[in-house]
Amino acid sequence: MVVVTGQSKGSGDPDEAMSSSDAEDDFQEPATPTATQAGQALPLLPQQFPEVVPLNVGGMHFTTRLSTLRRYEDTMLAAMFSGRHYIPTDAEGRYFIDRDGAYFGDILNFLRSGDLPPRERVRSVYKEAQYYSIGPLLDNLEDLQPLKGEKVRQAFLGLMPYYKDHLERIIEIAKLRAMQRKARFAKLKVCVFKEEMPITPYECPHFNSLRFERSESEAKLFEHHCEVDVSFGPWEAVADVYDLLHCIVTDLSDRGITVDHQCIGVCDKHLINHYYCKRPIYEFKITWW
């Protein structure tokens, strides 16, 4: 029903009549608080912090100085406790950070005195330092093992085209075969070769050479695909086949996959004349439970 006011019973002037939309605007009440009204319920900024700050990080309790949290300006902790942001408190009045607190003590030890974690905690603390954007801690951790060695390893893996894609293919093939056979494990063949050209008993590679010098027409005679599930290579580096195998097993293990491997021979595919492919073939056994 539309309520009309401000008009006499006998008036016919449309200018003096209030439209239905105007009437509805006069009588309509907001159903929910506006953003401005909702914002008034929050504590006024800036937030004030005590000199000694009690913290609750994911249920673990810590106490530190405010100056420690603000030690490096460009970090998340410095921004959180700058007073520009509201931080909730728990029932005991501790400032709450919704993050696993298992390695927060290592973060505080670095902010306090520059202490670094032991080797077995380096990777985990590095992830926390990334979350809190603590650049100086990240720089120090990258110079420690195992992160320093990981940089070298990743430089080597950068030579492997589609390395991560091949890892995914190994996992998918092994999972599919195990499910099809309703088996606890699955086997697949993987070729890992360093040289571009196949090695045969009739060839002798140059000393310290990574490639054979052949013309383009000769090279095409040796182009083929070994009959395997996944093939890695070739690459030019000092690291050899066993180094790459170690990387493959390590990366699969880091994903919780149990893998065993053994060399079962060579491709041995006839190419031309007396040339046969001598790329090594490995059998990978993926155990699922």
| 35-74 pLDDT, tens digit each | 444 444 555 556 899 999 999 999 999 999 999 999 999 9
* 185/270 same-domain check: yes
- Whether pLDDT at 105 is above 50: yes
* 193/251 same-domain check: yes
In the predicted model, what is the mean pLDDT of residues 69-84?
A: 95
* 83/167 same-domain check: no
What is the per-residue pLDDT for 93?
Answer: 95
End-to-end Cα spacing for the chain:
70
How many domains are there within the chain?
2
pTM above 0.85, yes or no: no
The CATH number assigned to the domain holding 104 equals: 3.30.710.10
Mode of pairing for the β-strands spanning 52-57 and 95-97: parallel
In the predicted model, what is the mean pLDDT of residues 209-223?
A: 53
Q: 53 pairs with which residues across the strands?
A: 64
* 81/170 same-domain check: no
Range of the domain at 128: 52-144
What torsion do the CA atoms of 256, 260, 263, 266 make, to the nearest 10 degrees?
-50
- Whether pLDDT at 104 is above 60: yes
| 182-214 pLDDT, tens digit each | 999 999 999 999 876 555 544 444 433 334 455
N residues, the chain:
289
